Structure 1
Amino acid sequence: MPRRPERRSVLVIGSGPIALRDTAAACRVLKAAGLRVTMVDSDLTTMTTDPEFADSTYLEPIDPGTVEQVIARERPDALLPTVGGQAALDTTIALYESGVLTRYGIELIGTGIDAILAGENPEEFARIVGRAGAEMVPEASVPGWPKFEFELVQDHEDKVAVACSTGESGSLTDRGYRRMCDLAVAVTRAAGVGPGGCTVRFAADPSGGRVVVTGFDARAPGSSALAVQLAVGHTLDDLGFVTAARRPSATGDVLEIDVDALYDGHELYLGGIMERFEAPGDPACVLPPITLGRADLARIRESTRVLAESTGLRGPLNVRYALTPGALSVLEANPREDRTVPFVSRATGVPLAKAAARVLLGARIADLRAEGLLPPTGDGGMLPPDAAVAVKQGEVMAIDSDFGTAYAKALAAASGPLPTKGRVFAAFAARDNRAMIFPVKALADNGFEILAAEGTGAILQYLGVPVTIAREHSIVDLVMAGEIVLVVDTLPGTPRDEIRAAAATRGIPYLTSIQGLTAAVQGIEAVNRGHSSVVSLQEHIDTLWPIRS
């Protein structure tokens, strides 16, 4: 939906000492949309008090009386309060309650007034959380629970998406993450955010998996430029985001991809494109990606460039994509360095964090190429075809000439070696029956004994794969007795949680996807071949960028 035709100018209440880069990016988005920008902010340390960021800049106190004077003088059509600090929100509430916004016909953008009021009233917010089907608990009441923050954005078509999230990711399962996503979307809708963004805070019980909402903010500091893009008329579909209405299904057809990039306002540098896959413990990723073709890489590059350009970004960007047959969708976009940056830097031989700092200070990517900090040509999305494979598992990294060997080395360093013999328990959902045949047969060919749930076992028997049908109630006992060395289970339900808990207790690898099983099989076959090699990081880097050495 396009922005309102009558909206010609916007008053921005400044940020004070917070979210400086994102506030500046939000101003760039407004000016790029053809709007006259008026800024009110008295803090000289903020980037946005530089005259280049607004058509009129008022170095005045942020209070209702002063801002009303600016409104009377400038007559803006809209007010953006959500890239500022607490004073901006307090002033906006006062202007709304006194009737100033109505009297001057000013539209509030970036979030709705109901959302701002909810963020300032814990009792009202608790009622909103209840209507969304969630539980509200003060953060102080759960001091030992892992904490999480989800920034969400909403467009004029009432579609909602998770823009980015932070928290103790190692303590959260995929199921828990999806549960938080669903609750965050429901709270955003119930709070009346409207076109713009907000932040929903959570805590998770480390013992029982209970998830509670602990707080709300009508601002989305890390996604403010994106929220402004939506406020002025763009849609989430325009930007390729996965919305609550069209989240990819959890099947083997979905491939998740991480991208670390730099953008200087004109040129994009792709630090690395990583293919994510399930592994025992933390998810793993591989660089270069092993199943993406040239067309996929080109789409990812262009989508990342468009996303960086449209949000007014200057600096680092981490994007998480979902690739399905026929569609590339944005799961999250974080305007910051992610925990994958050290991995990307070592895998590609480029000091990405140092380059990001230079870009934030005003350097261009072309300047960094000329200095030798970045490669003179190409980037991490264009590694040589014979490049060694780097795998990240948790906080561990390994390099070798092929994926299977690199993965086996990384897993051995992170949580222990893959099993090379013993019993495997396999239980697959109907959607996985076709895809599971070859990796399960490969396990049998490598000498593993296959125990299977009834449905899975019947299919394997029909295809001539040696298999024993297992009684479901006995699997937990077998796992606890150490008689099963690997569990592959893609079925949902409570019994699966019991098997997972038993595997975790015994330190037995537990996989829940065909993709994870396929990776494990390649690792097992690599261990059995015994062709592992060692190479120094310096040698690896020299083979990637010989011109830089």
Structure 2
Amino acid sequence: MAKRTDIKKILIIGSGPIVIGQAAEFDYAGTQACLALKEEGYEVVLVNSNPATIMTDTTIADKVYMEPLTLEYIAKILRYERPDAILPGIGGQTGLNLAMQLEKKGVLKECRVELLGTSSESIERAEDRELFKELCQSIGEPTIPSEITYDLEQAKEAAARIGYPVVLRPAFTLGGTGGGFAYNEKELVEIGINAFKLSPVHQVLIEKSVKGYKEIEFEVMRDGNDHAITICGMENMDPVGVHTGDSIVVAPILSLNDHDLKMLNDSALKIIRELKIEGGCNVQFALNPDSSEYYLIEVNPRVSRSSALASKASGYPIARVTAKIAVGMALEEIPVAGGTAAIEPRLDYIVAKFPRFPFDKFTNAANVLGTQMKATGEVMGIGSTLDECMLKSVRSLEIGAYHFHLPKFDPMTTEQLVDYIREFRDDNVFAITELLRRGMTVAELHEKTQITELFLESLERIVKMERLLAEKPGDEKVLTAAKALGFSDRFIAKLWKCTELDIYNKRHELKLTPAFRMVDTLHTGKYIAYLYSSYQGENQSRLTGKKKIVVLGAGPIRIGQGVEFDYSTVHAVQTIKRSGYEAIIINNNPETVSTDYTTADKLYFEPLTVEDVMNIIEFEQPEGVIASLGGQTAINLAQPLFDRGVKLIGTDCAAIDRAEDRNAFEHLLNDLDIPRAKGQAVTKIEDGIKAASEIGYPVLVRPSFVLGGRAMQIVANEAQLRHYLKTAVEIDEDKPVLVDKYIQGKEVEVDAICDGRDVFVPGIMELVERTGVHSCDSISVYPTFSISDKVKGIILQYAKKLGLGIGIVGLFNIQFIVDPQDNVYIIEVNPRSSRTVPFLSKATGYSLADIATEVIMGKTLKEQGIFHLYPEEKTRWYVKVPVFSFNKIRGLDAYLSPEMKSTGEAIGYDNKLNRALYKALQASGMKLQNYGSVLATIADCDKEEALPLIRRFYNLGFNIEATAGTAKFLKENGIRTHVVKKISDDSDEIKEEIRQGYIAYIINTSDVGSQGQQSDGYEIRKCATENNVNIFTSLDTVRVLLDVLEETTLCISTIDA
């Protein structure tokens, strides 16, 4: 096949906002695909509504539309742009589903647009459960006994025929959404109601459970000439039953014999050929651990999370090659790492991917794992052995663990631990290691968990080395062996009862330092600057004579630290390269653009700990290290690196301390004459009670030095405060808790850049929700819509004073409260890049991360042509709306609070504010209905404010439903209201109405501090999120929704009205 010359313009559909199940891996894939097609001379048009991505930079595609990813908007873009083709498999399930809808609705035919790469028939055969089953049967490939069902009755009958337990798998959903295991009919009905609702084609597969089988995956690639190769085989540590995104995954496959490995590999290649998939494809198998019996679980005919992992694990750019195959190129015509894409990668090292879960933030949510994905992100460790790469992965997770040890398991009895691991949980591997410490055997644990012995033996080797270290403190041979196994200095220090620095010094005495090995799987002889550390093998990292700068990445994606920080990291690297320096990245997240080895001059795929970073810095000897762009991960490394003599460039440690240390910050604000809410830092419970009574309730309480508002709460009285201080946080001399006066007002946010002499504020963002909701869970608008020029002036002066007063060099972020009297208070200053940097960069047209990196490297704002504190505001409105993944994590409360809960964000922009809001709400995935029922359960303190809002719904033609107290109030004020019984009165009326889809919107507010887990409100919110019904816990959001609905709804009236 030859490269297509009959097409000139190609549309790529992105994956939209980050949700659990669809994260940064699609930014990486989309960026690769856009650049690959531009490289071949095609004009690339991109549609994606996620402002936090590199992909949506105007340098990546020729034209970027950040419009909602709905059929209506994509059709408009197609009709306007008239591209020759669409590349559908790059934007995850979202992009694939949209491409299929465009074809079914006839839009592609109308616009004469073809689908590139895999045909719609092939996509249909892979994605539709029934067609896939027929295909497998026709080529003799075994599939799990299953039946396709279209309603609950059919599902019940199918389950009875197949026999429980069964798995429910809704068709065309993402990350296993809506699926699950059912052990009886009651559970089947519970899961089934939601599963049918979430499948866009109302189709659910009822499948025999093969829980306990090994889960094996292959990433395969095929071109138009029917040349197919295997990129990477991967093995899940957890058996079938846990979503692969939630499982520890190891590559290459280690536990299979040659016969089974060849059998599954041949099957994967047979499938990709039969489906005629052109590009990358992921094939998942269930293998009986006691025989060679296997079943095909599923095929993803697109770039996926697994393909991002396989790309980083093998160094083979799957998305890039897929894009080139789509335009007719053959594997042997596509250059990759000194060879061609036709060469099968061969790994001479081992990688382990560990999922990163949000349960540290959501302690009330159930941490039991199943077929529905719950991880927000992932890390990858590369090592010479399985033990080494697994220990590196644990260090990378940033969950407070530097080893397979979590203090929470220490007080548990052996019986409790055995009971704990009966179900799949997010931290089972730590509990299993603890059981090995207590003498349980590999065979016993294999029987209890069905985890392959090979992985348990690795954990056993680690436990044996712990014992040896404890028995022989100071022994040099044991130290050498422990480092070769992958142990950290910090954990060895713990066992030897000394400091981490002592171990570091001892290693240097012994010249015990790691080698840096190259990720080279094509073995073409070309040097590839993609490196990992190991205490085994020769060093392969080449030093150049160039001056170099190291940028610390942001680690795994979690709530509070998302892809926005990767955006800043990548921009910094690009700026460093343009300035003539060698740019080096250290990061450990396989999903991101920053860990594509072509992004920087050199990539070290390593844990972001002091020890691992120091090893690289000592080897590379850079001019400086940038720690202010990788979120809290990088900032937390600044002080310990500085203490070891590392030259940090940009904001220094003293400045970070002035912004983050409570007392230092208070002194600075007094010196600068900038007001903030009254507050105190306390280290004892009684001091906290005393402080709150002096300040006056309600108060906002939180631990200091946290990201994403972890464990932040508004409390209304002493009883609630006591409960919080006893249960929600650790409080002692080293861990002060902040108690602040809660001021209700407008929240305003700025990102700014300071060069030591001048400050630049590119834009001021106003938040829709009042204080009390985390800024990233609030709707954010640029330019501001209700702030006076006088207040803007005060904000700008405070920003200038703070940048210079703290000593910022580079980016910083400030949050303000504006009270009803227009007094401006400071909430906090973050002396680093923030989550709003990509959004504000795209809204204002100023590339903040690039400007800040130039500043960090010594180029002043004036030298960059920036002479004003605040540029002229844009006339167009830009809106950022948070996106949540509540329906993925059962038990997670949707009540918005100071604790951040959103996983992603969407953008909307227009010349009219309400239209921009409408587009942003649509882009966030909200179902905007202009008819139906509104259910209101309003706290007494909010009733007066809620009344005009509910009247507006009523005037739009909505039915109003409410619980007794709210209904009485509404009726007294002339609003016809249907009374529904409370859940606490033993009634299922509300839940049933939500489940049946009768309710369009729910408004649920609580008195300050009373949104407890046992309340009716909690049950309503839980039911709403499980059934994808819009729920609002802030009246400010409701007001915005009404503005939008009134703008977009055609109302009726009599002729004489």
TM-score tier, shorter chain, comes to: 0.5 to 0.7
Counterpart-to-counterpart distance in 2, 1:348 and 1:184: 45
> Secondary structure at 2:907's aligned position in 1?
strand
Given candidates 1022, 1025, 1033, the residue that maps to 1:512 is 1033
**Which amino acid in structure 2 is aligned with residue 448 of structure 1?**
F
Counterpart-to-counterpart distance in 2, 1:331 and 1:185: 25
Residue 258, structure 1, aligned to residue 799, structure 2: no
> Secondary structure at 2:706's aligned position in 1?
strand
Counterpart of 2:932?
422
**Matches for 1:313-332 after TM superposition, within 5 Å:** 313-326=808-821, 327-332=823-828
Counterpart-to-counterpart distance in 2, 1:344 and 1:268: 16
Distance 1:347 1:421, change over 3 A: same
Counterpart-to-counterpart distance in 1, 2:839 and 2:949: 28
Q: Per-residue CA shift, 1:466-490, capped at 9, x if unaligned?
A: 2223222222221122111101111
Residue 298, structure 1, aligned to residue 793, structure 2: yes
**Which amino acid in structure 2 is aligned with residue 332 of structure 1?**
E
Distance 1:419 1:457, change over 3 A: same
Distance 1:199 1:400, change over 3 A: farther
**Matches for 1:165-314 after TM superposition, within 5 Å:** 165-166=706-707, 190-193=731-734, 244-248=739-743, 253-278=744-769, 282-314=777-809
Distance 1:313 1:87, change over 3 A: closer
**Which amino acid in structure 2 is aligned with residue 392 of structure 1?**
K
Counterpart-to-counterpart distance in 1, 2:980 and 2:1045: 23
Counterpart of 1:383?
873
Counterpart of 1:102?
none
Counterpart of 2:419?
none
Distance 1:378 1:269, change over 3 A: closer
Counterpart of 1:35?
none
Counterpart-to-counterpart distance in 2, 1:425 and 1:160: 31
Contact 2:752–2:762 (CA under 8 A) maintained in structure 1:
yes
Distance 1:307 1:18, change over 3 A: farther
Counterpart-to-counterpart distance in 1, 2:876 and 2:1028: 30
Contact 2:981–2:990 (CA under 8 A) maintained in structure 1:
yes
Counterpart of 1:480?
995
Contact 1:408–1:417 (CA under 8 A) maintained in structure 2:
no
Distance 1:177 1:505, change over 3 A: farther
Distance 1:18 1:166, change over 3 A: farther
Counterpart of 1:457?
967
Contact 1:161–1:185 (CA under 8 A) maintained in structure 2:
no
Considering Cα pairs closer than 8 Å and 6+ residues apart, tell me whether 1 or 2 has the greater RCO.
1
> Secondary structure at 1:435's aligned position in 2?
helix
Query: Deviation above 4 Å: which 4+ runs of structure 1?
Result: 17-20, 42-48, 86-89, 129-133, 159-164, 172-188, 278-282
**Which amino acid in structure 2 is aligned with residue 357 of structure 1?**
T
State the TM-score, normalizing by the size of structure 1.
0.53
**Which amino acid in structure 2 is aligned with residue 514 of structure 1?**
L
Q: Per-residue CA shift, 1:65-85, capped at 9, x if unaligned?
A: xxxxxxxxxxxxxxxxx9742
Contact 1:163–1:334 (CA under 8 A) maintained in structure 2:
no
Counterpart of 2:1019?
498
Pairs aligned (count): 337
Q: Per-residue CA shift, 1:192-250, capped at 9, x if unaligned?
A: 24xxxx699xxxxxxxxxxxxxxxxxxxxxxxxxxxxxxxxxxxxxxxxxx513133xx
Q: Per-residue CA shift, 1:153-180, capped at 9, x if unaligned?
A: xxxxxx997666335x8xx797699999
**Matches for 1:139-178 after TM superposition, within 5 Å:** 165-166=706-707
Displacement of 1:323 in angstroms is 2.6
Counterpart of 2:911?
401
Counterpart of 1:347?
843
> Secondary structure at 1:520's aligned position in 2?
helix
Counterpart-to-counterpart distance in 2, 1:19 and 1:132: 40
Residue 466, structure 1, aligned to residue 976, structure 2: yes
Query: What are the ranges of 5 or more consecutive residues in structure 2 without an aligned counterpart?
Result: 1-548, 553-616, 626-636, 645-660, 664-681, 687-699, 883-904, 984-988, 1052-1057
Distance 1:500 1:341, change over 3 A: same
Counterpart-to-counterpart distance in 1, 2:914 and 2:828: 28
Counterpart-to-counterpart distance in 2, 1:174 and 1:83: 25
Q: Per-residue CA shift, 1:105-157, capped at 9, x if unaligned?
A: xxxxx899xxxxxxxxxxxxxxxx99869xxxxxxxxxxxxxxxxxxxxxxxx
**Which amino acid in structure 1 is aligned with residue 877 of structure 2?**
V
Identity %: 24
Counterpart-to-counterpart distance in 2, 1:324 and 1:317: 23
**Which amino acid in structure 2 is aligned with residue 383 of structure 1?**
E
Displacement of 1:420 in angstroms is 1.0
Counterpart-to-counterpart distance in 1, 2:642 and 2:814: 32
Q: Per-residue CA shift, 1:437-496, capped at 9, x if unaligned?
A: 222111111111111232322232222222223222222221122111101111234211
Counterpart-to-counterpart distance in 2, 1:472 and 1:46: 65
> Secondary structure at 1:433's aligned position in 2?
helix
Displacement of 1:511 in angstroms is 0.7
Displacement of 1:350 in angstroms is 1.3
Displacement of 1:379 in angstroms is 2.8
Counterpart-to-counterpart distance in 1, 2:945 and 2:808: 41
Counterpart of 1:59?
none
Query: What are the ranges of 5 or more consecutive residues in structure 1 without an aligned counterpart?
Result: 1-16, 21-41, 49-81, 90-109, 113-128, 134-158, 201-242, 531-549
**Which amino acid in structure 1 is aligned with residue 990 of structure 2?**
I
Counterpart of 2:859?
363
Counterpart of 1:208?
none
**Which amino acid in structure 2 is aligned with residue 283 of structure 1?**
S
Distance 1:468 1:342, change over 3 A: same
Counterpart-to-counterpart distance in 1, 2:779 and 2:706: 18
> Secondary structure at 2:999's aligned position in 1?
coil
Distance 1:438 1:274, change over 3 A: same
Distance 1:306 1:400, change over 3 A: same
Counterpart-to-counterpart distance in 2, 1:464 and 1:352: 52
Counterpart-to-counterpart distance in 2, 1:520 and 1:489: 15
Distance 1:176 1:161, change over 3 A: closer
Counterpart-to-counterpart distance in 2, 1:45 and 1:437: 62
**Which amino acid in structure 2 is aligned with residue 440 of structure 1?**
I
Distance 1:336 1:460, change over 3 A: same
Contact 1:390–1:400 (CA under 8 A) maintained in structure 2:
yes
State the TM-score, normalizing by the size of structure 2.
0.29
> Secondary structure at 1:165's aligned position in 2?
coil
> Secondary structure at 1:191's aligned position in 2?
coil
> Secondary structure at 1:507's aligned position in 2?
coil
Structure 1 window deviating more from structure 2 (509-518 vs 302-311): it is 302-311
Residue 336, structure 1, aligned to residue 851, structure 2: no
Counterpart-to-counterpart distance in 2, 1:529 and 1:177: 43
Counterpart-to-counterpart distance in 1, 2:911 and 2:982: 40
Counterpart-to-counterpart distance in 2, 1:445 and 1:481: 24
> Secondary structure at 1:436's aligned position in 2?
helix
> Secondary structure at 1:85's aligned position in 2?
helix
Given candidates 420, 427, 445, the residue that maps to 2:955 is 445
**Which amino acid in structure 2 is aligned with residue 254 of structure 1?**
G
Counterpart of 2:143?
none
Counterpart of 1:51?
none
Contact 1:164–1:334 (CA under 8 A) maintained in structure 2:
no
Counterpart of 1:85?
640
Contact 1:408–1:526 (CA under 8 A) maintained in structure 2:
no
